[in-house]
Amino acid sequence: MSKAFTKEPDGDEDEDDVPQGLPPGAKNYMRPQGYQALRDELNQLARVERPKVVEVVSWAAGNGDRSENGDYLYGKKRLREIDRRIRFLNKRLDSAHVVDPSQQKNREQVFFGATVTYANARDEEVTVTIVGIDEANLERGLISWISPIARALLKAAEGDSVPVRTPAGTEMIEVIAIRYEG
């Protein structure tokens, strides 16, 4: 059978069309900065990268034998990657629930978008910001709201000690400070 008549799986979504990485029924929360970053990436791919690749592919297609034409073969592969990413970004943006942490009224408790400083069992102070799954970046201290630490911290107040499940067992962490940045 020709490959033209087969559908390649996206890898973006599961059968239930729930955004990848989210628990079933969960909302895709995102800060305004995260939403804008995804929009910027989508615009870059759709308006800059994709047209350049299409141009290369059409030029390469005009050169004759496509079966051994590296520009054509690589270009078609890159085009599929770009289109897959564009579909993924569109689904994520469509399902996004943008939450602005600066609008949080109850600043005494940890909610989505909070920057929290806590002390772990080794008395090390760690500062993290609770963000959407598409924004998470541990190196920058951005943790997903569905991560075990974020789930343990949610609704905690300064001075509270909360249990966190880790691979090594349950660990207690103490909330030292909570702030919401605009």
Model pLDDT for residues 95-117, shown as the tens digit of each residue: 999 999 999 899 999 999 999 99
**Looking at residue 182, what is its pLDDT?**
64
**Looking at residue 19, what is its pLDDT?**
59
**Looking at residue 84, what is its pLDDT?**
97
Q: Which residues pair with 163 in a beta bridge?
A: 172
pLDDT mean across residues, the chain: 87
**Looking at residue 1, what is its pLDDT?**
44
Share of the chain above pLDDT 90, in %: 68
Confirm if 88 and 10 have CB atoms less than 8 A apart. yes
95: Cβ contacts below 8 Å, ≥ 6 apart: 19, 27, 28
5 pLDDT tier (thresholds 50, 70, 90): very low
3-state secondary structure of 143: strand
Torsion over CA: 89, 91, 93, 95 (sign): negative
H/E element, 56: helix 50-61
DSSP state, residue 145 = T
Q: How many CB atoms lie within 10 A of CB 91?
A: 17
Q: Which residues pair with 126 in a beta bridge?
A: 118
| pTM assigned to the model | 0.79
Model pLDDT for residues 14-68, shown as the tens digit of each residue: 434 445 677 787 789 999 999 999 999 999 999 999 999 999 999 888 887 777 7
